[in-house]
Amino acid sequence: MSMDRRSFLKSSGAAVALAGLAACGAPKKDTPAASAGEIKIEGPMLEHYPGIGVLGYGCMRWPMTKDDRGNEVIDQEAVNSLVDEALAHGVNYFDTSPVYLRGDSERATAEALNRYPREKWLLATKLSNFADASYENSVKMYRRSLETFKTDHIDYYLLHSIGSAEDFKRRFEDTGIMQFLLKEREKGTIRHLGFSIHSHKEGFDSMMELHPKYHWDFVQIQMNYLDWTHAGGRNTNADHMYEQLAARDIPVVIMEPLRGGGLASLTKSQTALLKEREPDRSVASWAFRFVGSFPKVLTALSGMTYREHLEDNLRTFCNFKPLVEEEFELLEQIAEEQSNFPLVGCTGCQYCMPCPYGINIPGVFRFYDNSVVEGTYVKGPEQEKYAKARRRYLAEYNKAVESVRQADHCISCGKCMKACPQHIRIPRELKRIDEYIEKIKQDLL
Ligand code: SF4
Ligand code: SF4
């Protein structure tokens, strides 16, 4: 039986009532943060589970720079500085994977975290055995994570991105790796064993049915105010997943609280509605307040590439203000409107990249979705200054995505399809966008 959010909140008790609050305050003098520049954030970091900040660090979007040869590399100095600020303010859950940032995220995250005593940070990493799910390769991947972090335990270990019951069976049960991981948990090398999931409802439910067998310690789901009841496509609504997890008392880790950044920029009228209520808060802060208002949320991951993101989120989670019923309703209204936009819904995770034909898949989708949300797309000859709007749109498209990497170069080979956790039909969506662009070019709208 499914409960709506309102009745669910009522039955589980409002988040505030259950939320614990941990000391956050200013950076301590004995940390490297003391010299990294102080953020004026006041109040304690929100905790729903003792010792774990509800704001977690997603380490798949670390800042990049160029090395001496002009190659793009992780900006380690910037990462260290971000980690300093985060730890000093009560963010202590760091989520990475052996495949993030072309395999370099774990190394950079480890380098930043290992400047601190092990008990100061919680490591979450994953068995990302997509390309080779064999027992040997999976064990190797797991051991490499332990070595990279120079640690004898992983706090939160995830079976990465379960796509369906068959996917779980193929990658984890049939290979025998599940038995290995259960033994590692018994030994204490894995402190908590769980999974992340991007699946249809049947896939999610079948993983729940396995709870009595495997005793999932936590589960990572995509949850935000849009996916709450408007997940769309093959994805499962977050209200169903949250309810199922809460009923089993399984802590919930949130991914995509901002839906790939989409909920950080809304239409002008939606932004005005939020600003009217909270003039000093960012649009993004509403999405974080939404997930932080649920008591079973262990942590909500945010890929804070820049200091402004971190600072803004700290303002939200230190001295946290949970949403009140009226604010939930306001977000529901915005979600309803958003769900009617013809958005692709790409979160920019890059799992589909590189395309063998050079298409900048997330770049094309980002440009298109932004133009829809911001209202800058070309509507048709009836619109005011139509010719100018066409010229501007095409120029902006060329600026956003190099011409050789645009949608018209996709040959629909389908190689990218399986990788997309959002189940986006990538070639079909690229074709739809290309047809739209062609109509603008040829003045056929
Ligand atoms: S379907 Fe298009 S975007 Fe996907 S891999 Fe093939 S050419 Fe690239
Ligand atoms: S199309 Fe899918 S896999 Fe590719 S970046 Fe977007 S969400 Fe990620």
Ligand nearest to the CA of 424: 2
3-state SS record for the chain: CCCCHHHHHHHHCCHHHHCEEECCCCCCCCCHHHHCCCCCCCCCEEECECCECCEEEECCCCCEEECCCCCEEECHHHHHHHHHHHHHCCCCEEECCCCHHHHCHHHHHHHHHCCCCHHHCEEEEEECCCCCCCHHHHHHHHHHHHHHCCCCCEEEEEEEEECCHHHHHHHHHCCCHHHHHHHHHHHCCEEEEEEEECCCHHHHHHHHHCHHHHCCCEEEEECCCCCCCCCCCCCCCHHHHHHHHHHCCCCEEEECCCCCCHHHCCCHHHHHHHHHHCCCCCHHHHHHHHHHCCCCEEEEEECCCCHHHHHHHHHHHECCCCCCHHHHHHHHHHHHHHHCCCCCCCCCCCCCCCCCCCCCHHHHHHHHHHHHHHCCCCCCCCCCCHHHHHHHHHHHHHHHCCHHHCHHHCCCCCCCHHHCCCCCCHHHHHHHHHHHHHHHHCCCC
Tell me the average pLDDT across 409-417.
94
pLDDT at 310 over 60: yes
Q: What span, in angstroms and rounded, lies between the C-alpha atoms of 372 and 380?
A: 14
Report whether residue 427 contacts ligand 2, using a CB cutoff of 6 Å: no
- Domain regions of the chain by residue span: 5-339, 361-441
Ligand 1 in contact with 413 (CB < 6 A)? yes
Q: Which of the ligands is closest to the CA of residue 418? A: 2
> What integer pLDDT is reported at residue 13 of this predicted model?
37
Tell me, in angstroms, the distance from the centre of ligand 1 to residue 350's CA.
13
Mean pLDDT, to the nearest integer, of 105-127?
A: 98
- Whether pLDDT at 418 is above 80: yes
Residue with tokens 């010719």: 387
Please provide the CATH number assigned to the domain covering 5-339. 3.20.20.100
Q: Which of 14-23, 292-301, 322-331, 377-386 has the lowest mean pLDDT?
A: 14-23
pLDDT at 151: 98
Least confident window among 26-35, 121-130, 188-197, 386-395: 26-35
- What percent of the chain clears pLDDT 70, i.e. is strictly above it? 91
Mean pLDDT of 321-327: 96
Is the per-residue pLDDT at 30 higher than 60? no
Ligand 2 binding pocket includes 359 (Cβ within 6 Å): no
Q: Which ligand is nearest to the CA of 262?
A: 2
> Residues 368-391: pLDDT tens digits?
999 988 888 998 888 889 999 999
Question: Given CA atoms 279, 299, 341, 375 in this order, what sign does their dihedral have?
Answer: positive
Average pLDDT over residues 301-329: 95
Cβ–ligand 2 distance for 422 under 6 Å, the answer yes
197 CA to middle of ligand 2, Å? 15
If you average pLDDT over every residue of the chain, what do you get? 90
CA 442 / ligand 1 centre spacing (Å): 24
Question: Does the CB atom of residue 363 touch ligand 2 within 6 A?
Answer: no
Ligand 1 touching residue 411 (CB < 6 A): yes
Beta-ladder partners of 55: 300
Pocket test for ligand 1, best of 346, 361, 401, 425 (most atoms within 8 A of CB): 361
Q: Say how many Å lie between the CA of residue 101 and the centre of ligand 2.
A: 14
pLDDT band of residue 329 (cuts 50, 70, 90) is very high
Give me the mean pLDDT over the 218-235 stretch: 93
pLDDT tens-digit map of 163-212: 999 999 999 999 999 999 999 999 999 999 999 999 999 999 999 999 99
Query: Of ligand 1's atoms, which has the minimum distance to the CA of residue 358?
Result: 8
Q: Note the Cα 120 to chain centre separation in Å.
A: 23
Q: Whose CA is nearest to atom 8 of ligand 2?
A: 349
Closest ligand 1 atom, CA of 409?
A: 7
